[in-house]
Structure 1
Amino acid sequence: MQNLITKEVKLKMIPWLLIGIVGSLLTLGIPYLVQSLLDNGDGKNIFQNVMLIVALLFIQLVLSFSAHYGLLKIGEDIVFDFRMKAYESVLYNEQEAQKRSGESAGEIIEVSKKLKNFIVFQLPTFIQSIVTIVGILIFLFILNWKLSVVILLGIPSIFLILNPMSKLVSNISQSEQKVTIKVIGQLGEYFRNRIFFLANNAIEQSKQKMKESYLELYQQSVKLGFFEALMQPFSLFFITIVLSFIFLFGGLLLSSGEMTIGIFISFLIYIFMLLTPASSVGSFLGELSKLQGSMSDLLELIRKPITSQQNTGEVIDLSDVTIQLSDVSFGYEETEVLNHISMEIHSGSTVAIVGPSGAGKSTLLSLLLGMIQPTNGQVCIDSIDLSGVNLQEYRNQIGYLAQNETLLAGTILDNLTWGLKEIVSTEAINQALKDAEIYDFVTALPQGIHTNVSELGDNFSGGQQQRLAFARILLRNPKLIFLDEATSSLDSILEHKIIQTLEQEYRHLTKVMIAHRLSTVQDATQIYFLEDGKITGVGTHSELLESHPHYQEFVKKQMIHQ
C-alpha cells in the first residue's frame, strides 16, 4: 500500500489529520466541565459553562467536517490513481486477460471502495481514537485513579472476548466478497452471450447455473448476517457486564465519600466516550488485514513492469525491414503453445499462416505485436530484438484486426479514430470506408459516421463490424498489417473485393494474415502451415499443395474455402 500512499500524499494528509485530532481533543473537556458544574455549581457560572460546552461542540463539529472533507478529497485522488493503475495493469497483463472481464472489473470496484473507506474513515478514526484514548485516560486518572485502574482492566477485556468473533465475521465477509465478484463476472458473461443462449435453447441451463451462483452468494450472505446479528447482542451482553461492575465499584467509592457525584457522572461520560475509540482501534487492525488481503493480487499486478507497452527503446521505421523469428517458443505455465518457430517476413510481402484451430496462430501474432514475450528464442526487427524496441512507436505503424473484433460504445467516428494521434480529414475517412466496402452503408444511415454504436456493437452485423474495423486500421496508414481471420464474417464476394483492394491499393504494405479460405491465402508470397505449435510446412500455395499432405487435406475438405 506504500505505492499508493506516497510521501507526498502523507504530507497532504497530515494537516487534515491534525485538525481532526484537535476536534477530538476539544470534546474531552466537556465531561470535566460537567463535573465542575455539578460539584461547584452555585448558579453564578452555570450559563457561562453551558455556553462554553455549546461553543466547544460547535467548534468540534466544524473541525470534524473540515477534516473529513479534506481527507475525502485526498482519498478520492488515491482511489482514482489506484483504479487507473489497476485498469492499465489488467489490460497489459496476459494472464489477467485470461480471466473473465467482469471478474476483473468487479475486483477493481470492490477493492477501491474498501480502499476509499479505509483512507477516508478508518485510518483517520484510528489515529484520532489513539489520541482520544490517551486523553481520556489522563482525565480519568486526574479525577480518580482507583476507578481508572478498574476501567483499564475492564474495557480491554471486552475486546479480548469479542475479538475471535470479530475475526470470524471478517473472514466470512471476505468469502462473501469473492463470491460477489464471481457472480458479477458471470452475469456480465451471460448478458453478453444472450443470443447464444436463445439460439441454443440454453436459457433454462443458464438460469440453473445463475441460480447455483446466486444460491452460493445467498448462503454466504445468510451466514454473514447470522454472525453479524449475533455479534450485536453478544457484544451488548459483555459490555453490560463490564459496565455494571464498573458502576458497582464507582457506587462503592461514591458511598464511601472517596468520589463526588460530579466526578462519578464525568466518569460515566468518559467511559461511554471511551467505548467508540476503543472499538475503532480493535476494528482497524481487522479491517487493515482484510484490505491487505483484498488488495494483494491487484497490488502485485500493479508492481509488475509493463513490458508490453514500453515507450523506451529503439524507434524503427517499418517501411523496409525484415521480421525474424528465431527458434521461438512460448507457453503458459506448463502448457507449450509454440515450439521452436523460425520464420522471416520481408517488407512488402504477404505472409499467410494457416492450420487447424488451437495450433497457436493467434499466439504467434501476439508475439509479433510484442504483447507477450517468448519463453525461448528471439523476435527481431532487422536483427534488433523486439524487447529493445519502442513498442508504442512500433505499434503506431501497425494495423491489427483481431478475429473477434467488436465495436465499442460511442459513435462510428469514435470507433474509426481510436488510437489516432492526429485529426483525420473527412476525405481520408470516406476513402477508408470505401476501401473497406462499407461507405454506402454508413452514408445511408441518418446520422452517418455520427451514428451511435451500442455496447459490443450489437446494432451492427458481424460483417459490418469487421468492415468498420478494417476501415479503422486503414486510417492508421500502417506499414505492417496483421489480420487474424479478419474476413471470417464476410461473404466471398465482399472478401474478394477487400483482399483485391489490399493487394492493389496497399501492395506496398507488409501483410501477415491468419485465414482458412483459399481465396485469402492462395496469392500469398509465403504460406506457413502451423499445427500443434510447430511449423510443418513452408511455401507458396502451389508448392504446399504438392508437398504437404495436411495442407492438401485442408483444401480438399474445404476447411480453406475455394
Structure 2
Amino acid sequence: MKNKNSNVRRFIALIMETNPPKALLAVAVILSVVTTLVGLTIPLFTKNLVNGFSFGSLSTGQIIGMGAAFIAQVVSGGVSVYLLHYGGNKIVSSIRERLWSKLLRLPVPYYDNKSSGDTISRLTNDTAILKGLITEHVTGFFTGILSIIGALTILFYMNWQMTLIMLTVFPVAALIMVPIGRKMYAISKSTQEENARFTSIVNRVVSEIRLVKASGSEPAEFEQGRTGINNLFRFGLKEARMQAIISPIVSFIILLLLVCLIGFGGVQVSSGAMTAGELVAFIMYLFQIMLPITQISQFFTQFQKAMGATDSIIGIIESEEEDQDSGKTVSEINQTLQVDHVSFAYKPEEPILRDVSLTIEAGKVTALVGPSGSGKTTLFSLLERFYDPTSGSIRLGGTDIRHASLRSWRRQIGYVSQESPIIAGTIKDNLCYGLDRDVSQDEIEQAARMAYADGFIEELPDSYETEVGERGIKLSGGQRQRIAIARALLRDPHILMLDEATSNLDSKSEEVVQDALKNLMIGRTTVVIAHRLSTVVDADSIVFMEKGIITGVGTHEQLYASHTMYREFANGQLRMNKSA
C-alpha cells in the first residue's frame, strides 16, 4: 500500500512539475460536473412524462426545460472534452520536452547500458499512456463518482428499499474486480517492457538494413522480430482473457440488477407504493450508476498502466546528467595536454587503460599506434570527457580538464573518425551541424575548398542544398569524410582528434582526404589513432600501446630502432604497400 501511495505521489509530482494549465483544466472539470448534474435531472423529467403522458399535459415550460437541459449537456460536454484534451496534450507535450532535454544531457555511459529502442519507447509510448489517462479517464473518474453519489442520493429519496437491494450487489462485484485489476497491472507492465524491446529490435534493423541484407541476416532478424510479436500477442491474449472475465461479470451484474429491480419494482407499482414513472426513473438512474462504474474501472486499468509508465519516465528524469556549464571556461588552449597515470575500466574487473602517462605537445602531432583493443579509442573518449578516468588525471597546462565546463572544453575539439557521422538533411546542414554561431555562405564554401569537397558538392543537383539521405547514404565514403573535415574546419577547433580518418578509403580518395587533413591540422594540437605507416612517419611523437599500457614513445626512427612490435608494424605496412 505504501509503495502504491508512493507511485501516486510520484505521478502527481510529475504532472505538477509540467506547470499544467490549472485554470483551463478547472473550467473543463466544472463543465464536466455541469454535464453530470444536468444528466441527473433528465430521469426526473422522464418520470413526470411517464406518470401523466399526453401531449396536452406537456407545458411550454417543460418542453423548454427539457430542451435547455439537453442543449446544456451537449454544449458543456463538448467544450469540456476539448479543454481536457487541450490540457492533457499540453501536459504530455511538456513531459516529452523535459524528457527530450534530459536525454540530450545524459552522459555517454547511460546509453552504453540502454538500447535505443527502449529509450524511444519511453519518449513516445509511455508518454502516450499518460496522455490517454489525463485526456480520457481522469475527469470520467471524478464525474463518475459525482454521478454515482448524486444518483444514489436521489434513489434513496425515491425508494430506499430498492436502493439497498441494488447496493448489495456491488461489494460482491468489488471482491471479484479488485484481484482482476491487480492482474491487469502486472500484464500491462510486462506489455510495456516487451513493447520497448520490440521497438528496439525494429529500430536496430531499420537503421542497419544494409548490414542486415549484406550479411544475409533476414531470417535471423525475422525470428527475433517474430519472437517479439508473439510475446506481444501473448500479452494481448492475457489482457483479452481478463477483459473476457470483466465484461460478462459487468453484463451479469447489470442484468441481475435489472431483473431484481423490475421484479421488485413491478410489485411496488401494482401495490401503489410506487408509480410507473418512478420505476422508469429508477432504472434510468441505475444506468447512470453503472456507466460511471465502467468508467471508473477503466480509469483504474489505465491508471495502473500510467504508474508503470511513470516509473520508467521518472527513472530517466532522475538519472544523473552531464553538467555542461559548470566549471571554468577554457580560454588558454594552446598548452600541453598531460595524461598523468590514467587508468580506466568500463567494468571494474576489466581494466582498459592501466597507469597511462603521456605528453601531447601543443601545436604538434601525436600518433597513437598499437593492436586492436589496446585502448586507443578509449583514450580518445577520455580526452573528449565522455568518461572520467577511474584514477589519474588529464591536465591542460596545470589544470585538470574536469575543472573546465564541458561545453567550452568540447567546443575546442574537432573529431574526425573512420565512419564520420552524417545526419539526414542537406550538405549545408551537415557542414553547420553543432556550430554555436552563424556562418556565411562564403565561409562554408571556403571550408569545403580546404577539405577538397567543393568539387563534388558543386556537381550535385542542388549543390549545398542537396539531401544526403539517412546517415549520408547518398554520399561515398570519401565524400562523407571530406564533409566531416569541412565541418571540423568550420568549427575551428584548437585540438584535433583523428581516428584514422582514411583507413576505409580507396587510394584515390585517401590521397584527397590526406591533403584535406593536412589543411585541417595546420596550427592545431593533433592526436591521431594510426593504422597506416603513412599517417605516423611524420608525427612529432608516436605512442605505442599494448593491452592498455604504453610500451614505447618516440619518433618513427627512434621506435623503429628500439621497439620490436613497432618495427613489425612498420615492416608489415611496407610489405602491404609493395604488394599494392
Instruction: Give the TM-score taking structure 1 as reference length.
Output: 0.90
Cα shift at 1:328: 3.2
SS of 2:20's partner is helix
1:419 alignment counterpart: 434
2:46 alignment counterpart: 34
Paired letter, 2:545: L
Cα shift at 1:279: 2.4
Cα distance per residue 1:511-555 (max 9 Å; x no partner):
122231122223223333333333343333333333434333433
Cα distance per residue 1:415-437 (max 9 Å; x no partner):
11111233322332222222222
Paired letter, 1:37: L
Q: Which runs of 5+ in 1 are unaligned?
A: none
SS of 1:9's partner is coil
Cα distance per residue 1:310-341 (max 9 Å; x no partner):
12321112532333333333333544433333
Task: Check 1:72–1:533 CA distance in 2 against 1; reply closer, same or farther (3 A cut).
Answer: farther
SS of 1:258's partner is coil
Cα distance per residue 1:220-245 (max 9 Å; x no partner):
33444444345433432344234433
SS of 2:301's partner is helix
Cα distance in structure 2, aligned partners of 1:355 and 1:81: 49
| 1:108 corresponds to 2:131 | no
Counterpart selection for 2:539 from 500, 524, 530: 524
| 1:324 corresponds to 2:344 | no
Paired letter, 2:62: N
- C-alpha contact (below 8 Å) 1:517/1:560 kept by paired residues: no
SS of 2:339's partner is strand
1:554 alignment counterpart: 569
- C-alpha contact (below 8 Å) 1:37/1:49 kept by paired residues: no
Paired letter, 1:125: G
Task: Check 1:130–1:361 CA distance in 2 against 1; reply closer, same or farther (3 A cut).
Answer: farther
- C-alpha contact (below 8 Å) 1:140/1:148 kept by paired residues: yes
Paired letter, 1:320: N
2:500 alignment counterpart: 485
- C-alpha contact (below 8 Å) 1:518/1:560 kept by paired residues: no
SS of 1:348's partner is coil
Paired letter, 1:337: I
Cα distance per residue 1:446-471 (max 9 Å; x no partner):
21111111112111122221221121
Task: Check 1:201–1:40 CA distance in 2 against 1; reply closer, same or farther (3 A cut).
Answer: closer
Cα distance per residue 1:56-94 (max 9 Å; x no partner):
222122222222222222222222222233233334342
The percent of aligned pairs where both chains have the same amino acid is 32
Cα distance in structure 2, aligned partners of 1:255 and 1:358: 93
2:6 alignment counterpart: none
- Deviation beyond 6 Å, 4+ runs, structure 1: none
SS of 1:8's partner is coil
- C-alpha contact (below 8 Å) 1:416/1:472 kept by paired residues: yes
Task: Check 1:559–1:276 CA distance in 2 against 1; reply closer, same or farther (3 A cut).
Answer: farther
1:57 alignment counterpart: 70
1:475 alignment counterpart: 490
Paired letter, 1:181: A
After the TM superposition, which residues 83-482 of structure 1 pair with which residues of structure 2 at under 5 Å, given as runs?
A: 83-91=96-104, 92-98=106-112, 99-307=114-322, 310-334=324-348, 335-482=350-497
Task: Check 1:77–1:388 CA distance in 2 against 1; reply closer, same or farther (3 A cut).
Answer: farther
Cα distance in structure 1, aligned partners of 2:130 and 2:336: 49
Paired letter, 1:123: V
Deviates more, 1:47-56 or 1:418-427: 47-56
Cα shift at 1:412: 0.6
Task: Check 1:68–1:555 CA distance in 2 against 1; reply closer, same or farther (3 A cut).
Answer: farther
Cα shift at 1:250: 3.5
Paired letter, 1:529: F
2:88 alignment counterpart: 75
Cα distance per residue 1:248-305 (max 9 Å; x no partner):
4444444444332222211211111111222222332332222121232332211234
Paired letter, 1:326: D
Paired letter, 1:61: V
Deviates more, 1:401-410 or 1:40-49: 40-49
Deviates more, 1:269-278 or 1:99-108: 99-108
Aligned length: 561
Paired letter, 1:457: G
Paired letter, 2:337: I
- C-alpha contact (below 8 Å) 2:327/2:405 kept by paired residues: yes
Cα distance in structure 2, aligned partners of 1:188 and 1:94: 19
Paired letter, 1:327: H
SS of 1:380's partner is strand
SS of 2:360's partner is strand
Cα distance in structure 1, aligned partners of 2:565 and 2:477: 30
SS of 1:14's partner is helix
Counterpart selection for 2:34 from 8, 12, 22: 22
| 1:533 corresponds to 2:548 | yes
Cα distance in structure 2, aligned partners of 1:375 and 1:149: 71
Paired letter, 2:414: G
Cα shift at 1:481: 1.6
Cα distance in structure 2, aligned partners of 1:543 and 1:352: 14
Paired letter, 1:25: L
Paired letter, 2:326: T
Cα distance in structure 2, aligned partners of 1:4 and 1:481: 45
SS of 2:168's partner is helix
Cα shift at 1:406: 2.8
| 1:11 corresponds to 2:22 | yes
SS of 1:511's partner is strand
Deviates more, 1:135-144 or 1:334-343: 334-343
SS of 2:101's partner is helix
Deviates more, 1:425-434 or 1:354-363: 354-363
- C-alpha contact (below 8 Å) 1:90/1:96 kept by paired residues: no
Task: Check 1:163–1:505 CA distance in 2 against 1; reply closer, same or farther (3 A cut).
Answer: closer
Q: Which runs of 5+ in 2 are unaligned?
A: 1-10
Cα distance per residue 1:144-171 (max 9 Å; x no partner):
2222223333234324323333443443
SS of 1:377's partner is strand
Cα distance in structure 1, aligned partners of 2:487 and 2:165: 76
Paired letter, 2:340: S
- C-alpha contact (below 8 Å) 1:318/1:479 kept by paired residues: no
Cα distance in structure 2, aligned partners of 1:487 and 1:82: 43
Cα distance in structure 2, aligned partners of 1:474 and 1:561: 32
Cα distance in structure 2, aligned partners of 1:108 and 1:73: 19
Deviates more, 1:440-449 or 1:354-363: 354-363
Cα distance per residue 1:91-117 (max 9 Å; x no partner):
434244233323322332111211111
| 1:66 corresponds to 2:85 | no
Cα distance per residue 1:161-205 (max 9 Å; x no partner):
233334434433443333333223222322333322333333333
- C-alpha contact (below 8 Å) 1:106/1:184 kept by paired residues: yes
1:511 alignment counterpart: 526
